[in-house]
Amino acid sequence: MATTELSDVIGDWVKSRRAAGVAPHDVLEALGLQVSQEAAVDESALWAMVALLVEEHRQRAQPRRRLATADGLTAVVDLVRRSERIMVVAGAGASASAGLPDFRVAAAASAHSESPDALFDVHHFVNDPKPLYALAAEMWTGKALPTPTHMFVRELERRGQLLRLYSENIDALELAAGIERRVLCHGWCASASCIACKAAVGAEALRAALAAGEESWPLRCAKCTHGLNLVKPDVACFGEPPPPEVERSLREDLKSADLLLFIGSDARVHPLAAVAPALPRDVPQLLVGRAPPPREPHEADALLLGECDEVVKWLSAELGWTLPPPPPAAAAAADAEHADGGAAAADPAGPAPAKVAAPAFHEPNKFVFASGSAEPPTESPRAQTPLAVPGPRHRAHGGRAAPRE
């Protein structure tokens, strides 16, 4: 059977299942994904997830081919200059220079955690909340400043060119950078809520508890008396559905984006895995990262290969832009941490940046900077959460609730 025909069969099958009253949990499981039965999920959100999966399969039946509009560095720079609705998908590479840990490193440093995945398992959290609190404390103490990559996205927003930022990270540096048009696909460490009644806990209360150390962990919800009134940082765990704004924003943005820019991520895990194939074929796609991703059926138009900060500094210079320093509030938080004995914060103004050398060209569409590689990586990709890494535990997931700001 042809792939396109198979796609139609799957779509018809899903429609028949819904008409027959089958639960979306069961449909997702039949399609190879699993959603925790304990998760508080709106059924319409799960059916939207099913629709995204079927649409991705439909698009994979006709893989995207590279456009000629990004041939050459001049064309790449011009694409960014003239695009008015840039959709940005950012991963751990965007935060690399902030010094925040990969989730595997964080798990190894935790005396409580059995494995990296256990940090992001809601059942493990109920039995032992401290590892996730320790991760949140490491990620959100005020020591880390937004990187030049964050400030590049903020500059896009300031110039009215940012359609929306979709982030796979949980470090809340998008907030510190002042980026307003953002969707946090895996939650973040800057808010928390009760796993029983879903009541929100203020950011200041969470920050105080994280700073106080593990003797004060976990927080208990003061608004309910449920036996499991544990307060959990709003970091997504396995088996939890995406925040509703992910699907809602994607539906809107995929219709209007005029440029897709991957930064520090190749988005191979849902819900963002559906972005590249679902975008209209005539919308250019650029990828910024240390190395090209593993072979995928959909081709990006140009690969800018190097550390994200190096690439955006070069791109900014070519555009004639001066990247702003981190906002004063972010720098002040880092300075306060340093005054309390923490690591020294980087000078937000800093010395004048050195000129970044132009990249070397590799056929057919790779531009390799000094810190980059033209070959796919042999090691696992950097990630702040395993939910952003393809693997055997890849399930339907996202944030249990929209991050509270």
Domain membership flag for residue 393? no
Q: pTM for this one?
A: 0.78
Nearest to 144 by CA among 289, 309, 337, 310: 337
Q: Of residues 124, 150, 186, 270, which has the active-site annotation?
A: 186
375-393 confidence digits (pLDDT tens): 887 776 678 787 777 764 4
Together in a domain, 178 and 56: no
- Tell me the range of 67-76, 141-150, 253-262 where mean pLDDT is highest: 253-262
Together in a domain, 32 and 155: no
Domain membership flag for residue 403? no
What mean pLDDT, rounded, does the chain reach? 79
3-state secondary structure of 201: strand
Contacts of 113 (CB under 8 A, 6+ apart): 107, 119, 131
23-74 confidence digits (pLDDT tens): 777 777 776 666 655 555 567 777 777 776 666 665 555 677 888 888 899 9
Tokens of 374: 């033209």
Q: Which amino acid makes up residue 383?
A: A
Q: What is the pLDDT of residue 231?
A: 92
* Number of domains comprising the chain: 2
Together in a domain, 51 and 75: no
How far, rounded to the nearest angstrom, does the alpha carbon of residue 74 sit from its chain's CA centroid? 29
Domain with 311 in it: 71-388
Tokens of 365: 């569409």
Together in a domain, 219 and 367: yes
Together in a domain, 92 and 18: no
Tokens of 270: 């849902």
Together in a domain, 41 and 160: no
Q: What is the pLDDT of residue 33?
A: 66
Greatest CA separation found in the chain? 67
Q: How far apart are CA 101 and CA 84, in angstroms?
A: 34
Together in a domain, 227 and 286: yes
- Does residue 298 carry a catalytic annotation? no
Name the strand (E) or helix (H) holding 318.
helix 308-319
User: Do residues 242 and 401 make contact, with C-beta atoms less than 8 angstroms apart?
Assistant: no
- DSSP summary character for residue 226: -
Q: How far apart are CA 150 and CA 152, in angstroms?
A: 5
Together in a domain, 136 and 257: yes
178-209 confidence digits (pLDDT tens): 999 999 998 888 889 999 999 998 788 888 88
Together in a domain, 226 and 200: yes
What's the chain's length in residues?
405
Q: What is the pLDDT of residue 289?
A: 92
